[in-house]
Structure 1
């Protein structure tokens, strides 16, 4: 069975990402009942700031939290990253989680559900570059959620209510289809790399 992680990329209190990730998980379960989707919240993972002595490329993980994270990421065939845009880029917690391991990301597929004032598009631009270095194939379709149109926010400091436009469901379904197809298509590449 294909396994896809839905990764919540923000750890900030009051974040909107968990609600968005739950929406992704709900649509995914309905559209792809034969695929195992699992929500991975970086708050629950609890990684410290990168503290490995060796670069992740060498695969010599010295800390138990890194080995645990490597086992977690290694279980999946693909990923859907749910990310806000912070200062035109990726949240620090997400970049940190990506940097901890290397081979466990390789030869897998990923899609992006982003949100922000400009739909989180600049965070995704950076993620595409980072993931290319980690040998992750990213799909073209992206869900870009606008804080103005896809959330009802009574005050800037409040998370508000997630109210995605009807077109977002269609875009998400296309994104999920692409991630599932590419995750499956890359299986022989992953298996060849392990041989």
Structure 2
């Protein structure tokens, strides 16, 4: 099997966001693995409108060209790692909107998450998992939670001066577990999708 393509999605678009640092860190970790090929996707690059289509693309094609560009891009991947900022106990509005701009493009794929904040983005990631069920996705059991003193130590806005590599004693094992699980589920889902496609073609 060819390498599994994994998108690392930065969920915050604020000018002062922290998301680039964990995105770069987990993408590097993923790219160390021979089975994975990770690419960072930045929501800033897609200029998505608030969802205003007639219906989800589960029912009809989307009209907005930026939405279609986003759908085409996420369709390239076998799995996803969402880098999750927690806003008021949930995911960012920017991420929810980006998720809602597509449906079929997420289906039957796997995802993991890296969360950050005072509680490591735990509540936001749990909310994201529920959204993933509706999108017919499978979530890894493990996630990376950068929280508490570790978060303060690596966030420049709080005077942090450490790199994420310097706190790997706290988050390294969970990153390994998440990537192990993502690799397994993404490979299993890719095989199943390919089998479904072959069956459908044979039936034509």
Shared fold (TM-score, shorter chain, > 0.5): yes
In 1, distance between residues paired with 2:192 and 2:104?
A: 13
Provide the residue aligned with 2:185 in structure 1: 182
Q: Which has the higher helix share?
A: 2
Listed one character per residue, the Cα deviations across residues 134-165 of structure 1 (whole Å, up to 9, x for unaligned) are: 00100100111115223425655x78654434
Listed one character per residue, the Cα deviations across residues 110-138 of structure 1 (whole Å, up to 9, x for unaligned) are: 00100111111010111001110000100
4+ long deviations beyond 3 Å: 153-156, 158-163
Q: How does 1:141-152 map to 2 (within 5 A)?
A: 141-152=142-153
Q: Unaligned regions of 5+ residues in structure 1, if any?
A: none
Listed one character per residue, the Cα deviations across residues 43-80 of structure 1 (whole Å, up to 9, x for unaligned) are: 11221211212223214111211111111111111001
Moved more, 171-180 or 102-111: 171-180
1:111 aligns with 2:137: no
Moved more, 11-20 or 44-53: 44-53
Cα 1:144/1:70, change in 2 over 3 Å: same
In 1, distance between residues paired with 2:54 and 2:149?
A: 43
Size of the aligned set, in residue pairs, is: 193
Q: Unaligned regions of 5+ residues in structure 2, if any?
A: none
Give the number of the structure with larger relative contact order, counting CA–CA contacts within 8 Å between residues 6 or more apart: 1
In 2, distance between residues paired with 1:189 and 1:63?
A: 31
Q: How does 1:61-100 map to 2 (within 5 A)?
A: 61-100=62-101
1:6 aligns with 2:12: no
SS of alignment partner, residue 186 of structure 1? helix
Larger radius of gyration: 2
CA RMSD of aligned residues (A): 1.9
